[in-house]
Amino acid sequence: AQKITQTQPGMFVQEKEAVTLDCTYDTSDPSYGLFWYKQPSSGEMIFLIYQGSYDQQNATEGRYSLNFQKARKSANLVISASQLGDSAMYFCAMREPKRDDKIIFGKGTRLHILP
């Protein structure tokens, strides 16, 4: 079973609109971390935002916010006032306290911002 599910393979959004990228996760650990990364066409992986499982408030970083709904195991990324430079692949990821301690990634959502 997938640990991280991103159900939107691709999205097209008009510039200046807000965007919500969906992410659900599966874990039985009470302690975990959730991350979003951006991968532009140049290929590098850029960290956007982090949410800890015990954090009471939703994380925000500039135009990025994470809509964390713990009971639903949902960690959607919200981008406000989208810009052309937001066109990229976006990955939701989770780190659990397992032996290998790795970060597990979803398959990604490709976001296209239209002028």
Partner 1 sequence: EAQVTQNPRYLITVTGKKLTVTCSQNMNHEYMSWYRQDPGLGLRQIYYSMNVEVTDKGDVPEGYKVSRKEKRNFPLILESPSPNQTSLYFCASSLSRGTNYGYTFGSGTRLTVV
**Contacts to partner 1 by CB under 8 A:** 31-33, 35, 37, 43-47, 50, 52-53, 91, 93, 95-97, 100-103, 105-108
Nearer to partner 1, 45 or 84 (CB): 45
Burial class (CB in 10 A: 0-12, 13-18, 19+), 101: exposed
Shortest separation between residue 67's beta carbon and partner 1, angstroms: 19
Q: CB of 14: closest distance to partner 1 in angstroms? A: 27
* Residues in contact with 76: Cβ distance below 8 Å, sequence separation at least 6, in sequence order: 20, 21, 22, 23, 66, 67, 69
Q: Which of residues 52 and 69 has its CB atom nearest to partner 1 in the complex? A: 52
List the structure tokens of 39: 């991968």
